[in-house]
Amino acid sequence: MSEQQTYANHRRFDPSYHFFLMPFSLLGILATAYYLARHPSLQQTLALVLAIASALLVLKVRLYSMRVQDRLIRLEETLRMQRLLPADLQGRLQDLSPAQFVGLRFASDGELAERVREALDQKLGGEAIKKQIKDWRPDTFRV
């Protein structure tokens, strides 16, 4: 990534997923449904079921990989927080939601304690946490 990562530009696209697999999976459903409406048959019904199953497979593979990434982020951030946070906040780490961990990963070491305290006390979501971060710590590995 050539420019510095910020809240405004931290979202990333996976071209093969966002611009090929998912659009063509949805297009396959629409085309098959259209053809089924025009020429009803058992074969076209099965083709529609397979098109829907294929789109669900593409979506589920993406969602499962994101879930694994969230678990890794939670582990990495827990280890970082155990090293950096004061004792009173370390005792509250189990109260952080997965979305809060994901948002807090962008907070620099210097402002982490403040962001964790805000997240817990104000029950901030991941997006709200990211918007509060002043010193952004980039995460260039997540897709």
Q: What is the pLDDT along the chain (143 residues), one digit of tens a residue?
A: 457 888 887 887 889 999 999 999 999 999 999 999 999 999 999 999 999 999 999 999 999 999 999 999 999 999 999 999 999 999 999 999 999 999 999 999 999 999 999 999 999 999 999 999 999 998 877 76
Query: What is the C-alpha separation between 127 and 133, in angstroms, rounded?
Result: 10
CB atoms within 10 A of CB 125: 15
Q: What pTM value is reported for the model?
A: 0.80
At which residue do the structure tokens 């529609």 appear?
48
CB atoms within 10 A of CB 82: 10
Distances in Å between the Cα of 74 and the Cα atoms of 8, 99, 118 are 23, 9, 18
- pLDDT score for 13: 83
Query: What is the C-alpha separation between 77 and 117, in angstroms, rounded?
Result: 15
Query: What is the C-alpha separation between 128 and 113, in angstroms, rounded?
Result: 16
